[in-house]
Structure 1
């Protein structure tokens, strides 16, 4: 099975601390690399996680609070200094387009690669990127600024050929691709061999959802049904649920409620408030509702 991983570059929130960095992750899918959010200093953590600057294909920004985007221009500037030539695609809330263009013109004008801005309508759930390996969907969230999460869905793989059946029926190699794509086989004697007898099913497609920042949305699980791995912000413990609602954030307990309702495979917590020097209480509260939950930390890598 090809890699589908999440590299945690930063899992802190707005106020800088010595133990966590601002929000950023790299999603690795079948040898391709996509960044989600780009807080201040992200390029340093990107180097530490050994992801090549030149391999980063796109950056997805959830919203325009600084702890999610202040590292973007600096990273693009560095890409220009390190000889990047391939285009970089930036997906971000639509209202950032004009400012982004001005910032690029002022700070990053001289470069040998194209930066393509893709405006995202944060109010709609829609497909915003698709290739042969992956489909990315926007997830409307509720925050103090226009904000959305991102859902990365692996494209279905072709079934696996049964070598024993190919040999048994003496099927020429030139027909293998047709069989992978759904064809059966007819023998010289006229026997029809169904497609299902010639293949074994591929593994189910995996999926990863990134939801930060947002207050608790009781219906959010409807967009996240059966995803393999969910990252959901957990800024506060349940003792400060009122503060979470006031500032449009969530508690670890609420993140677990979303995970349970969506029937996800596993839950990752992050975007911790700077007031907490350790996050065990967040983990404890979440585990009481949804057992397969993990705290994120810089440098961690999770298999989706």
Structure 2
């Protein structure tokens, strides 16, 4: 099952050096989830052929402009392009007021309904669930209320061994029961245990999105053993004092987070405008956690795939 993230923006605070502020699209079993929505997100979606009409869920980590200032424009474009299906919007409670006041004074009445789900920055909560995924908030430590998001794939049903199923001519109406673990007996009474007819499903994978945050061990347990951990790495570690003042993380600290939480792979982003080249940031994180990559705009990363 497809589980991958495409980076639309990897800069902090301001767009610079052809880098845009934060935005990502998660593709989970061909359902698209937008995570943060900075200015320029629409152009990035057009550039990388991501259709806004396929996005039904948007997750906003916090209310600093580099994480949500593209949202009103995106919602407006969805309206102008004839959207009528509902949209779920997850984020800090004041986000609703911000959006509604924009549309109030532009005298815009959307053609589609928005369901607002307020996030709680104090405790982890399940905020969304469907047949593919469970989404939890990750309380982070930033200057204002901020949550990350943990996307945990649900365990799938067992996989049929096609050749064996066809050989025994098992009726289609029994397939679901077999996937759930049932065994099978032929009309002449021969018994086949389930493990001769099916195999284990793929292991459920997990994507942890840690937006702006001070290095703080309180969220480590929740993100433990992530298949792919995205973690902000705004500064090099020689800027630790600045990172602490602004409630951000250094690249070295991001590597520490990945190592301590035993992540399979680390993706670092939210780079300060002071860095034109990102190689030093990558090298610093890799000095602690070798399985690290830079969040490069336009690039797609598979959750659960080894970094190379």
- Shared fold (TM-score greater than 0.5)? yes
What corresponds to 2:306 in structure 1?
none
1:177-256 equivalence runs, <5 A: 177-188=176-187, 190=189, 192-256=191-255
Distance 1:167 1:17 in 2: 58
* Preserved contact between residue 185 and residue 191 of structure 2 (Cα < 8 Å): yes
Deviations 1:275-301 (A, max 9, x none): 111111111111111111001122111
Matched, 1:44 2:43: yes
Deviations 1:225-247 (A, max 9, x none): 22111110000000011111111
Bigger mean CA offset, 219-228 vs 2-11? 219-228
What corresponds to 1:68 in structure 2?
67
Show structure 2 runs of 5+ residues with no match: 304-308
CA positional deviation for 1:188: 4.4
What corresponds to 1:25 in structure 2?
24
* Preserved contact between residue 220 and residue 258 of structure 1 (Cα < 8 Å): no
- SS of the aligned residue for 2:221 comes to helix
- SS of the aligned residue for 2:298 comes to coil
What corresponds to 1:161 in structure 2?
160
Distance 1:170 1:296 in 2: 49
**CA 104–194 in structure 1, closer or farther in 2 if over 3 Å, else same:** farther
What corresponds to 1:303 in structure 2?
302
Deviations 1:178-213 (A, max 9, x none): 111121223445555332232101111122111110
How many equivalent pairs are there? 303
* Preserved contact between residue 256 and residue 289 of structure 2 (Cα < 8 Å): yes
Distance 2:69 2:83 in 1: 21
Deviations 1:91-123 (A, max 9, x none): 001233333332333347323211221111121
* Preserved contact between residue 14 and residue 20 of structure 2 (Cα < 8 Å): no
CA positional deviation for 1:80: 1.3
- SS of the aligned residue for 1:99 comes to helix
Distance 1:91 1:77 in 2: 17
**CA 194–152 in structure 1, closer or farther in 2 if over 3 Å, else same:** same
Distance 1:211 1:106 in 2: 34
- SS of the aligned residue for 2:301 comes to strand
Deviations 1:61-109 (A, max 9, x none): 0000000011100111111111222222110012333333323333473
CA positional deviation for 1:168: 5.2
Distance 2:265 2:175 in 1: 36
- SS of the aligned residue for 1:254 comes to helix
Distance 1:183 1:101 in 2: 52
What corresponds to 2:141 in structure 1?
142
Distance 1:6 1:286 in 2: 20
Distance 1:17 1:33 in 2: 27
- SS of the aligned residue for 2:220 comes to helix
Matched, 1:89 2:84: no
Show structure 1 runs of 5+ residues with no match: none
TM-score w.r.t. structure 1 length?
0.94
What corresponds to 1:285 in structure 2?
284
Bigger mean CA offset, 157-166 vs 234-243? 157-166
Matched, 1:132 2:131: yes
Deviations 1:23-53 (A, max 9, x none): 1011111111111111112111111110112
